[in-house]
């Protein structure tokens, strides 16, 4: 258990006194997703070093006399995390990030395996290529091809995979990279799509830093023009997309690990985000395994065409007007409900780790499972929107008693009585006046 979140220098000092019998995993960020990855790896005795920016948000934090810094993420106090500490945020200084990671790996005395749990971290590991770090996923060129929505939707078009009606905007086209797509002006896109519509970036990372979100819904032509102008000024290529009449509760994703040998050997589970908080466009709070072979086939076809290997989540929504699933996005990294496939019998992080080390992993087979983020789920049930509780009295008894860890098909995002510190920290941070920078 990492009892403290250390400064980079203090973490280097601590690692110099540690012994590792196998390559440790570098898990970034160190919040809910990082916690899920750490627990999945620790279940197979993989040592985990959680790395994040200081303070859990922009601006960093001062170092205390004992070498610790403030961090609000939930992964560091987990028993699954051996060490935790700060590194330079890669979007602020990629070279500084590389130097910090290389110092950490050098102090550990062994190579390490990187798990980026948000786009900027996965891309930073791939782009910086720190010495001594093994990547269990494709290189930066392939990542950019998959994450670039123009390239992704061009692939969908070629493969016959349905996706939302989308126009790449000429006003920001000079900022674009990747495959060409049909350009349109603001007026042309507005006339074709109508309002409201959504504005999305081709590549999320810079857009999120500039606008604080990865999608903006605009209600009229003036809002649309203002958003596109701001993106153009920031040098960010964006596209206009028809607002999909999404059938609530029918969002599905393919959770998979594709090895370098290809999609024929993929380990995959389809998950249905049955409930989100807020309901329409919010974060997943109850996800269930689902039998949707068409979604699996379409997602794997896209990944195969891109030549991608590694962990990914391919997101589909159900368009009530078109009466079909549409591919929205592919996340080339672990995501918030990574614990669902693990609970179902497909430990994607361990499969990825084993592919680049001497470790071995074989799935025992996939069984039905459910995942719940209790913080979000309880907030939804307590809110003004009428939502029926989807958990049974037996589910609640198992959750409260802790028996869900030993029986039943339900797992939780943070709460785990056998590893109580992350849930305790959530209580500590939930009721104070400061925000962690990401729900993931």
pLDDT at 438 over 70: no
pLDDT of residue 224: 96
Per-residue tokens: 317? 């929504």
For domain 8-137, the CATH architecture is: 3-Layer(aba) Sandwich (3.40)
Decide which of 3.30.1490.20, 1.20.140.10, 3.30.420.40, 3.20.20.370 is the CATH code for 165-242.
3.30.1490.20
- pLDDT score of 187: 94
Region 312-338: mean pLDDT is 96
Instruction: Judge whether residue 78 has pLDDT over 60.
Output: yes
Confidence check: pLDDT of 225 > 90: yes
Q: Which of 335, 312, 374 is nearest to 143 (CA)?
A: 312
Residue 58 in this model has a pLDDT that exceeds 50: no
pLDDT tier, 60 (very low <50, low <70, confident <90, very high otherwise): very low
> Predicted confidence band at 1 (pLDDT cuts at 50, 70, 90)?
confident
Above 50 in pLDDT, residue 137? yes
Q: How confident is the model at residue 213 (pLDDT cuts 50, 70, 90)?
A: confident
Could you report the per-residue pLDDT of 148-198, keeping only the tens digit for each?
Answer: 898 899 999 999 999 999 999 988 866 544 434 467 999 999 999 999 999
Residue 12: CB atoms within 10 A of its CB come to: 18
Model pLDDT, residue 180: 47
Please write the tens of the pLDDT for every residue from 376-389. Answer: 999 999 987 778 99
Give me the percent of the chain exceeding a pLDDT of 70. Answer: 94
14/213: higher pLDDT: 14
| pLDDT mean over 263-291 | 93
Mean pLDDT of 219-247: 93
Tell the burial category of 365 from Cβ atoms under 10 Å away from its Cβ (0-12, 13-18, 19+): exposed
Which pLDDT score, from 0 to 100, does residue 8 have? Answer: 96
What pLDDT digit, counting tens, does each position of 125-135 carry?
999 999 999 99
State the number of CA atoms in the 13 A half-sphere of 69 facing the CB.
25
pLDDT at 183: 78
pLDDT of residue 434: 56
User: What would the pLDDT profile of 317-326 be if each residue is shown by its tens digit?
Assistant: 999 999 999 9
Residues 54-72, mean pLDDT to the nearest whole number: 70
Q: What is the pLDDT of residue 175?
A: 52
Residues 6+ positions from 321 with CB-CB distance below 8 Å: 244, 245
- In the numeric block, the tokens 């939502």 are attached to 387
The residue ranges of every structural domain in the chain are 8-137, 165-242, 251-332+337-372+374-412
CATH code assigned to 251-332+337-372+374-412: 3.30.470.20
**Can you give the pLDDT at residue 383?**
86
pLDDT of amino acid 68: 87
pLDDT for residue 98 is more than 60: yes
Confidence of residue 59 (pLDDT cuts 50, 70, 90): very low
pLDDT of 303 over the 60 cut: yes
- The per-residue pLDDT of the chain, averaged, comes to 92
Q: What is the pLDDT of residue 429?
A: 80
> What pLDDT band is residue 248 in, cutting at 50, 70 and 90?
confident
The share of the chain scoring above pLDDT 90, in percent, equals 78
Mean pLDDT to the nearest integer, 107-136: 97
């Amino acid at each position: 258990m990492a009892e403290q979140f250390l400064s980079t220098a203090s973490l280097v000092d601590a690692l110099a006194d540690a012994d590792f019998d196998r390559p440790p995993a570098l898990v970034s960020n160190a919040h809910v997703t990082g916690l899920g990855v750490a627990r999945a790896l620790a279940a197979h005795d993989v040592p985990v070093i959680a790395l994040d920016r200081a303070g859990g948000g922009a601006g960093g934090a001062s170092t205390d006399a004992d070498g610790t810094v403030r961090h609000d993420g939930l992964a560091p106090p987990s028993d699954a995390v051996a060490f935790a500490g700060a590194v330079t945020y890669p979007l602020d200084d990629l070279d500084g990030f590389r130097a910090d990671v290389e110092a950490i790996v050098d102090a550990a005395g062994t190579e390490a395996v990187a798990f980026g749990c948000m786009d900027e971290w996965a891309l930073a590991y791939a782009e910086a290529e720190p010495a001594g770090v093994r990547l269990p996923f494709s290189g930066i060129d392939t990542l950019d091809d998959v994450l670039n929505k123009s390239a992704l939707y061009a692939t969908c078009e070629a493969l016959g995979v349905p996706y939302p009606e989308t126009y790449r905007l000429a006003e920001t086209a000079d900022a674009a990279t990747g495959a060409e797509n049909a350009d349109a002006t603001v007026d042309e896109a507005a006339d074709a799509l109508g309002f409201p519509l959504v504005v999305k970036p081709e590549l999320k990372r810079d857009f999120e830093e500039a606008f604080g979100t990865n999608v903006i819904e605009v209600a009229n032509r003036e809002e649309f023009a203002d958003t596109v102008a701001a993106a153009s000024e920031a040098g960010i290529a964006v596209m206009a997309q028809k607002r999909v009449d999404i059938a609530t509760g029918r969002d599905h994703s393919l959770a998979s690990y594709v090895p370098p040998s290809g999609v024929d050997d993929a380990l995959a589970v389809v998950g249905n985000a049955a409930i989100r908080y807020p309901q329409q466009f919010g974060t997943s709070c109850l996800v269930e395994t689902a039998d949707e072979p068409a979604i699996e086939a379409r997602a794997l076809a896209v990944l195969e065409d891109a030549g991608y290997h590694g962990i990914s989540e391919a997101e589909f929504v159900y368009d009530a007007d078109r009466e079909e699933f549409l591919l929205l996005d592919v996340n080339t990294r672990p995501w918030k409900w990574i614990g669902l496939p693990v609970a179902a019998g497909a430990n994607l992080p361990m499969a990825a780790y084993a592919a680049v080390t001497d470790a071995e992993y074989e799935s025992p087979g996939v069984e039905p499972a459910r995942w719940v983020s209790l913080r979000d789920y309880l907030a939804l049930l307590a809110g003004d929107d009428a939502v029926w509780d989807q958990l049974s009295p037996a589910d609640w008894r198992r959750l409260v008693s802790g028996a869900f860890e030993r029986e039943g098909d339900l797992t939780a995002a943070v709460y785990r009585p056998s590893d109580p510190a992350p849930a305790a920290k959530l209580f500590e941070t939930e009721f104070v006046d400061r925000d962690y920078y990401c729900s993931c």
